Amino acid sequence: MQTHVTAYDSTLRDGAQAQGVSFTVEDKLKIVVQLDALGIGYIEAGNPGSNPKDLEFFKRVSALNLKHAKIIAFGSTRRIGIKAADDNNLRSLLSASTQAVAIFGKSWDYQVTDILRTTLQENLAMIGDTIAYLKALGKEVVFDAEHFFDGYKANAEYALATLQAAADAGADSLVLCDTNGGTFPNEVFEITQKVVAQFSKVQVGIHCHNDCEMAVANSVAAVQAGATQVQGTINGIGERCGNANLCSIIPNLQLKLGFNCIPPENISTLTHVARFVNEVANMPFNDKAPYVGNDAFSHKGGMHIDAVNKNPISYEHINPEIVGNSRHILVSEVAGRGALLSKLREIDATLDKDSPDTQRILAHIKALEHDGYQFESAEASVQLLVLRELDKLRPSFEFKEYQVNIHEPAVNGVNSSASIKLLVNGQVETTTAEGDGPVNALDKAMRRALERFYPAIKTVRLTDYKVRVLNSDQATAAKVRVLIESADHNESWTTTGVSTDVVDASWRALIDAIEYKLMRDFV
């Protein structure tokens, strides 16, 4: 049985078609470096015939010293009624100067007659002519059989004929595309198995979309049926509901089924790559993502936590460190003393579940959660709370007071000013700042006061800000909970604050965010 499966990434082409995603050339180059380091075999990086940005990318990517990946330029079969050598899009494709290219062509008779509006025979000629032309120029050619599964179910003979035309012309790979994302795993398995049997001398690949949330399952089914190339994107980003998620496919195949997709030693970087791509794409990360999500190995229920502390296999299907993730024990009102104890022991290994300190801190946390706090997503605030309760936190500064003024209309994006008074190393620091909103002004004023003493604060940036109204029946007097995610060059952390005043709740979360950074730096 073939155990090697080539991982083929289309984040920079198919993924870039997702709503809200727009990669710069620099973005694409950074992602290429990460994908190559992960061990991806092919990186489909764009269509040089579609825009000048992709042309610039292909010129610059050739200077990278890639260890694992081949860069692929993507394009379509020649246009109707012309020679491949005369097709402007194919000329653009060749201008990318990549060793390998991907060509898509229609394999559903309906798409040929009603969308392309040409004959079935001309479509076969378009496929064959294009691939033969590229092969004559020394290119490795991946043929994407667009709408293959819909085409096979409508007219199996013709769908297979498109593959035959590509194979006869010298295609190196035949990729079966579930373009509409509507096929089920049992269908993918059965059809792929037949294709693999018929085209035993050509590599067969799979390319799935997620419109029925089966892209990962369909991709795995195709590999089990004999496909040896699997296409997808990092985190499943892509048009409509997205593409098959390589961050799930790779560990499913490699850790569960014994296939070799990337070098085994590289799989521990998977979580890093997943988060890096979403950061570059400026997209919120899916905390619930299998394997790489922040919640993938998080435990909140008391019984679960107790079991995981005894043996992680009780509620974890793999060791999270294998994919570069980590276990999170969430502290909440339902977590019980076991969850808290694991946090306490990170700070004081002598504490046990029956100690007065443990019981006091648990009671305090439950009281705060009753008051509206939520600590399961704010582990930095939990750690600070525990350190304060155990009298083990040396405050980096002491808050005295703040004032905020809001003035409308805004002038040059500034509508607020803030003044704060802090005690730092025995010195009273009073600073003011203007900002785009009161929270921004407070943040700037606090940084201005502290950066002289703690220059490392300059590396901290706010990466997410959430506000939740807790008791909406109180209208504008309702309590709000604020969650602030911050990051520096090494890590990210989340803090929380609760108040009937959104500015005050934000201020509490901001103070914890800076205090956590300074505590980590000076521990």
Confidence of residue 264 (pLDDT cuts 50, 70, 90): very high
For residue 407, pLDDT beyond 80: yes
Buried b vs exposed e over 329-346: b needs ≥16 C-beta within 10 Å? Answer: bbbbbebbbbbbbbbbee
Domains of the chain (ranges; CATH) run: 6-280 (3.20.20.70), 298-370 (no CATH), 398-522 (3.30.160.270)
> What pLDDT is stored for residue 135 in this prediction?
98
Tell me the two tokens of residue 430.
């009073």
Q: Which DSSP state fits 252?
A: I
Q: Give residues with Cβ within 8 angstroms of 474, minimum separation 6.
A: none
> What pLDDT is stored for residue 340 in this prediction?
62
Higher-scoring residue by pLDDT: 280, 143: 143
| Distance, CA of 205 to CA of 216 (rounded, Å) | 14
> What pLDDT is stored for residue 475 in this prediction?
62
Mean per-residue pLDDT of the chain: 90
Q: In one letter, which amino acid is 427?
A: Q
How far the first Cα of the chain sits from its last, in Å, is: 53
The answer to whether 171 and 202 have CB atoms below 8 angstroms apart is yes
492-505 pLDDT, tens digit per residue, is 888 989 998 899 99
Between the ranges 166-180, 282-296, 423-437, where is the mean pLDDT highest?
Answer: 166-180
- CA 39 vs. chain centroid, Å, equals 17
152-167 pLDDT, tens digit per residue, is 999 999 999 999 999 9
Q: In one letter, which amino acid is 162?
A: T
**Average of pLDDT values for 282-298?**
88
Answering whether pTM is above 0.75, one says no
| Distance, CA of 278 to CA of 275 (rounded, Å) | 5
